[in-house]
Structure 1
Amino acid sequence: MSSQTPPTAKKVPSERVHHGDTVVDDYAWLTVKDDPETVAYLEAENAYTQQATSHLKPLQETIFQEIKDRTLETDLSVPTRKNGWWYYSRTEEGKQYGIQCRVAADGETPPELKAGESLPGEQILLDGNELAGESDFFSIGTSAVSPGGDLLAYSVNFTGDERFTLKVKDLTTGETLPDEIPGIFYGGAWSADGTAFFYTTVDEAWRPNRVHRHTIGTPAEEDVLVHEEGDERFWIGIGLSRSERYLVLSAGSKITSEVRILEADDPAGEFRLVRPRETGVEYGIDHAGDHFLVLHNRNAENFELATAPLDAPGDWTPLIEHREDTRLLDVDAFQSHTVVHFRRDGLTGIRILPRDAGTYRSERLDSAYEISFPEPIYDVSPAGNPEFTTERLRLGYTSMITPPSVYDYDLRARELILLKQKVVLGGYDPADYEQFREWATAADGTRVPISIVARKGTALPAPTVLYGYGSYEISIDPSFSVARLSLLDRGFVFAIAHVRGGGEMGRRWYEDGKFQKKKNTFTDFVAAAEHLKAANRSSAIIARGGSAGGLLMGAVTNLSPETFAGVVAEVPFVDALNTILDPSLPLTVIEWDEWGDPLHNADVYEYMKSYSPYENVDDRVYPPILAITSLNDTRVFYHEPAKWIAKLREVADGGPFLLKTEMGAGHGGRSGRYDSWREEALTLSWILDTAKVTR
């Protein structure tokens, strides 16, 4: 470890007064992104981190090569059929980005594609490598082929700030049309005849709040504002039903939703409201032939599935009623069946509901069934099912030892057909590893699930990475990671703490980890760490989390710093109170339905102040911390970890405390796959070094 002196952030006292509470923030000046002093400080931190980790360069390069050597660099996805075409993407060795392609379809069975080969008649839709050019960052926000298959709407970004420029490509001629619209958000939808494309734009707080209609071949200045959302708690989006019969305009806050629909063959028509918003009621709609399917939580905490007439979409009749033990996640309507994605006992699942002649019959609901899977822990979800008429269901499946797999489920034969499993080179054998679930007991007696994977024969207790998130009802489900093998093969255990605030155990699990119960998220994570130690499974525990999981990292480090041998906090939401107090910032107002409103509610202010990581750094001994952020992140600003690290250096003992800022990226870090592998290799080498494992 380098003995170089870390940067010292200057202190410029700035007072904040809320609810009679005066707080002095010495590092608020770091919020000014274009101040040369801010940039100079971040660059100094980068130089210090580079010097402090310079001894890890050989190990970092070794791990990078391990990731690379295990990855089939020239590869392709399983083709997905839509409107007479098979769509797929492929990668080529040495190239950072994927290539989107299609070939004409013949039958329901996907064509056999081999890595490094292309099919006769292949048409390249988008080549990310050509589009990226020499840019350090590149991402695609939208890629939507018109129902007729002749036009492609796509959007690109070169900074990481998630603000895209929309373009339109003529797939018949290969030419890019003059249509170009800057400053759009993700997503979009075509009209049925391909003459119009609907897209969203954002307000000054970068909240998607407007839907526009662009007529192909006309200037962007003539685009029509279709809908504008005035409530700052709501985001809006636009999509197309699987049947391609309806445009679906959705508005949603963290706890409430509202949907409007329009026949896709009438793009200039007026959207009609499905059901007025009702605080606390969330719902979504899908077209199912002669009726709509509606998934909602009105008087149904874990959601129920209802039907609704086409001419009265707000009139809901229960189809699958609420169950306390099953959280309904999503519904997909097809001509001959309906697929329900659900969660039960901390695992995801798939339920099939048959249909007759496009209509449900109550006696056939008794024959509904669930698809079974053999592993004790796994994650499954519908994937790549764009066609309304099909007798095959495409599924994505993975576990902590099973690489991502793509199946077709034959609805007639009721059997799974493996189409592709991600190739892991270098002799990987799932039989060499084991995965299982254990349960920690929280302070209030709640049982908290922990998913664990390790190489068989690993000597215990072992160094452990404990990962967590615990917000927004987002579940961190068991999944496979090529990069993780570099830890497991060096004797590490990897564990996921499924803490409250996530959705792993249903809606109540989420509700018990938000608002004035948010501290359950943090104490659950500490309980999971203590369980792993008490069970003699773990020795040195490195905690890892990102974004809202970065808030978790900061909170548990304040709560129990002695529990952890090190902490990796990626794009961490560690200055939560100051951010949620500022309604001019992106996400803030909508976030009040997640954290509470500390600006107008003194009790919420005091509660958030009691756990917000930046406010609660003290003079205790903290473990080593690696904080990673991006200058152009619009979800969690770079200054949150910058302020946090500065305060840790000023107040706390222990460390070292390292800050690494990507100067040309966004919330997801670097965009190219080789660049992201190098960043992960740095993080893993730091974890190994911190746990005193250097081979």
Structure 2
Amino acid sequence: MSTDAAPRTPPVATRTPIVRSHHGDDVEDGYEWFRAKEDAAVVAHLEAENAYTEQRTAHLAGLREKIFTEIKDRTLETDLSVPTRRGDWWYYGRTVEGQQYGIQCRAPLASPDDWTPPDLSVAADVIGEQILLDGNVEAEGHEFFSLGSFEVSNDGNRMLFGIDVAGDERYTIRVRDLVTGETLPDEIPDTFAGAGFSPDGRFIVYTTVDDAWRPDTVWLHELGTAVSADERLFHEPDERFWVGAGFTRSDKYLMIGVGSSITSEEWIVDAADLRSTPRVVWPRTEGIEYDSDHAVIDGEDVLYILHNDGALDFELVRVAASDPSGPREVVLPHRPGERLLGVSTFRDWGVVGYRSGGLARLGMLDYADGTIRELEFDEPLYSVGAGGNPEWAPPLIRVGYGSFVTPGTVYDYEVATSELHLRKRQPVLGGYEPSEYAQERVWATAQDGTQIPISLVWKRSFGDAGAAPRPVHLYGYGSYEHSIEPGFSVARLSALDRGVIFAVAHVRGGGEMGRQWYEDGKLLHKRNTFTDFVDCALHLIDSGYTTADRMVAEGGSAGGLLMGAVANLAPELFAGILADVPFVDALTTILDPSLPLTVIEWDEWGDPLHNADVYAYMKSYSPYENVRTDAPYPKILAVTSLNDTRVLYVEPAKWVARLREVGADALLKCEMVAGHGGVSGRYNAWRERAFELAWLLDVLGVAEV
């Protein structure tokens, strides 16, 4: 393991005590002043932290460059996505060697019966390629660039696109005439992602956010009119709920969705009369979630609704679109432990996503008898999902597939014959052979006896996993019912090829094992998420996979909260902890309803502002509140972004300062022009990941391999 050539002095932040008082509890916080983002002293402190981190990791510059080069050399830089058919065109994206951002393109269909994607290896002029949007051109003059909305009208004549050049996820929508190439005067600032055209192309439906960064209002903009004249279609005043809107695949309805972590509601608007009054599908009921999609059965408009009313893992019902609150026909009944995830409806059949046995699965729904025909794959661990299917009546369904060892793969599933047509597998240059790597799932026993799945992937040439202790990179998340799927990573190969085992602890709070798995890791059960991760680490040590001095943990956002909690619970189990945009000052944030998303988050964490029991529980685990003085911490690297609107930079900045007080070797890296997802541009993102992996490998003692 490398050592520093000479001692260095980290930045020392001035303590300016501020007392926070709730439920009779007074807490003194010396670093809350970091929250003043525009304060020159705060900016200077963050820049000093960056300089210190760069100095401390300077010895890794060569390794960083080597890993970046490995990622770059394994990636086909000039590449193409698989074209998706919509209307009279095939839509696809290009990347070009040396360019940061993708290029959105299209080519005309050869004939109305053409469902086989065109051969894009031929000259662009041969297939009639048209460049719609070049991200590299749009990003000129900006340090950050992100595309939040992108859609072409049904007739193919106009395109809308929403751009963020700050990283704060507030997008300005512009419209371009694809016939003339002219950018129209319609310009809509400060929108949320995901705007779209109405089916007739006359209108744009978009959403805006409130001061807490909550999408709360749906608007209707008529092309050619002033934005000031835009009509408000829907507003949600309850601060616990997000709002979103989109048209059904059939183009029959606009669906306005309202949702919190535990409750949802939908409103339906006839797409032919967007100014008509929305009507509710099912009135909201606390704790009931549902999601609907339109189909036509025997000439009748119906809604297929996935819901959890009396069905923990959800059931699928069918109702009349004219009377959604009327009789419900059960299509797929509730099956405990088999979590229904979603249904997409097409003219002739539906596609159902669900989880069973800890894996995502995909099946075709027969409208006539409600049976499911599951798509089968031969790997023990994999991820699968439907996507890129905008057409109402296709003979094929686009499917995405991958695993820890199989690069991302695109299939077209032919419904009539059940055949999978391979359209593309992510190329990995340099002679990558999937057979040289192995994956498996093992199980750890939690403190309460629950079996926790752990996914492992490693390179076979280093021997069987568990045959001898090896370096382990243990990843976790465990919140919002989000599942960490078995997926391929080019960057991960740089660690696997140095003998590192990559492991995912599928802890409670995620959704891997069904809805109860989530329920058992949230609110007043949140500590299960943290203790599960510790128990997974102990299992890997006790089973001979690794040792404590050869294991690094990683998690981001809510997974960063997991990292902070684990650092306090079991610092002795890890050589290092990598925390990306970590939610480590959770109690302070969730106590303040003026901060972005706080009120929405009460369904996930509880409401400590009004509930003393929730306050005490959160205080017992919030990492910033529980930094220890009685145990040495592992090395810690916290990565954040100044313009992050989801987990504010102030949280990791305060956490690192507090850790330093107890002598922890903690580093902070703050991107000064970026948001929650980090830097923009693929080369920048590769360099950022190379920085993190170099630090991780150095801590694991394999930096020179």
SS at match of 1:457: helix
**Structure 1 residue 265: Cα displacement:** 1.6
Matches within 5 A, 1:161-200: 161-200=168-207
Deviation readout 1:479-510 (Å, 9 max, x if unpaired) = 00000000000000000000000000000000
**Is 1:583 equivalent to 2:593 in the alignment?**
yes
**Structure 1 residue 115: Cα displacement:** 8.6
Deviates most, 545-554 or 320-329: 320-329
SS at match of 2:603: helix
Partner of residue 461, structure 1: 469
The whole-number CA distance in structure 1 between the counterparts of 2:124 and 2:563 is 45
The whole-number CA distance in structure 1 between the counterparts of 2:132 and 2:324 is 37
The whole-number CA distance in structure 2 between the counterparts of 1:506 and 1:86 is 37
The whole-number CA distance in structure 2 between the counterparts of 1:127 and 1:550 is 34
**Paired residues of 1:343 and 1:505 also in contact (CA < 8 A):** yes
**Paired residues of 2:483 and 2:511 also in contact (CA < 8 A):** yes
| CA root-mean-square deviation | 1.1
Partner of residue 449, structure 1: 453
Deviation readout 1:34-66 (Å, 9 max, x if unpaired) = 000000000000000000000000010000000
1:468 counterpart letter in structure 2? G
The TM-score normalised by the length of structure 2 is: 0.96
Counting aligned pairs with the same residue, the percent is: 56
**Paired residues of 2:401 and 2:408 also in contact (CA < 8 A):** yes
Matches within 5 A, 1:547-566: 547-566=557-576
1:597 counterpart letter in structure 2? D
Deviation readout 1:638-664 (Å, 9 max, x if unpaired) = 0000000000001x23x4210000000
Matches within 5 A, 1:25-64: 25-64=29-68
The whole-number CA distance in structure 2 between the counterparts of 1:116 and 1:636 is 45
**Is 1:640 equivalent to 2:651 in the alignment?**
yes
The verdict on how the C-alpha distance between 1:118 and 1:98 changes in structure 2, with shifts beyond 3 A counting, is farther
Deviation readout 1:516-564 (Å, 9 max, x if unpaired) = 0000000000111111111111231100000000000000000000001
SS at match of 1:68: helix
Partner of residue 528, structure 1: 536
Match of 1:348 among 341, 351, 360: 360
**Paired residues of 2:93 and 2:102 also in contact (CA < 8 A):** yes
The whole-number CA distance in structure 1 between the counterparts of 2:391 and 2:325 is 25
Partner of residue 265, structure 1: 272
Partner of residue 500, structure 2: 492
**Is 1:403 equivalent to 2:403 in the alignment?**
no
Matches within 5 A, 1:61-460: 61-106=65-110, 107-114=114-121, 119-289=126-296, 290-315=301-326, 316-354=328-366, 360-362=367-369, 365-366=370-371, 368-459=372-463, 460=468
Deviates most, 342-351 or 288-297: 288-297
SS at match of 2:265: strand
2:210 counterpart letter in structure 1? D
Deviation readout 1:150-201 (Å, 9 max, x if unpaired) = 1111100001000110111111111110000111011123222111111101
The whole-number CA distance in structure 2 between the counterparts of 1:376 and 1:119 is 42
**Structure 1 residue 245: Cα displacement:** 1.4
**Structure 1 residue 116: Cα displacement:** 8.3
**Paired residues of 1:339 and 1:352 also in contact (CA < 8 A):** yes
The verdict on how the C-alpha distance between 1:618 and 1:116 changes in structure 2, with shifts beyond 3 A counting, is farther
Partner of residue 677, structure 2: 668
**Is 1:656 equivalent to 2:660 in the alignment?**
no
Displaced runs of 4+ in structure 1, greater than 3 A? 115-119
Partner of residue 10, structure 1: 14
**Paired residues of 2:10 and 2:52 also in contact (CA < 8 A):** yes
**Paired residues of 2:37 and 2:43 also in contact (CA < 8 A):** yes
The whole-number CA distance in structure 2 between the counterparts of 1:6 and 1:117 is 54
Structure 2, unaligned runs of 5 or more: none
The whole-number CA distance in structure 1 between the counterparts of 2:122 and 2:699 is 39
2:96 counterpart letter in structure 1? E
SS at match of 1:589: helix
2:499 counterpart letter in structure 1? G
Structure 1, unaligned runs of 5 or more: 355-359
The whole-number CA distance in structure 1 between the counterparts of 2:126 and 2:691 is 38
Partner of residue 622, structure 1: 633
Deviation readout 1:125-173 (Å, 9 max, x if unpaired) = 1110000003111001101111222111110000100011011111111
1:333 counterpart letter in structure 2? T
Deviation readout 1:580-599 (Å, 9 max, x if unpaired) = 00000111001000000000
**Structure 1 residue 361: Cα displacement:** 2.7
**Paired residues of 1:75 and 1:115 also in contact (CA < 8 A):** no
SS at match of 2:142: coil
SS at match of 1:646: helix
Deviation readout 1:309-364 (Å, 9 max, x if unpaired) = 1211233321101001210111010111111001011101111122xxxxx333xx
**Is 1:679 equivalent to 2:683 in the alignment?**
no
Deviation readout 1:63-117 (Å, 9 max, x if unpaired) = 0000000000000000000112111001000000000111112311111222985
Deviates most, 582-591 or 238-247: 238-247
Partner of residue 482, structure 2: 474
Match of 1:514 among 498, 519, 522: 522
The whole-number CA distance in structure 1 between the counterparts of 2:412 and 2:461 is 35
**Is 1:694 equivalent to 2:698 in the alignment?**
no
The whole-number CA distance in structure 1 between the counterparts of 2:483 and 2:282 is 28
The whole-number CA distance in structure 2 between the counterparts of 1:596 and 1:17 is 18
1:340 counterpart letter in structure 2? V
The whole-number CA distance in structure 1 between the counterparts of 2:426 and 2:266 is 37
2:415 counterpart letter in structure 1? L
The whole-number CA distance in structure 1 between the counterparts of 2:54 and 2:126 is 45
**Paired residues of 2:108 and 2:127 also in contact (CA < 8 A):** no
**Paired residues of 2:480 and 2:604 also in contact (CA < 8 A):** yes
The TM-score normalised by the length of structure 1 is: 0.97
**Paired residues of 2:343 and 2:351 also in contact (CA < 8 A):** yes
The whole-number CA distance in structure 2 between the counterparts of 1:305 and 1:671 is 39
The whole-number CA distance in structure 2 between the counterparts of 1:191 and 1:673 is 32
1:415 counterpart letter in structure 2? E
2:80 counterpart letter in structure 1? L
**Paired residues of 1:70 and 1:482 also in contact (CA < 8 A):** yes
**Paired residues of 2:160 and 2:173 also in contact (CA < 8 A):** yes
**Paired residues of 2:233 and 2:275 also in contact (CA < 8 A):** no
Partner of residue 357, structure 1: none
2:133 counterpart letter in structure 1? L
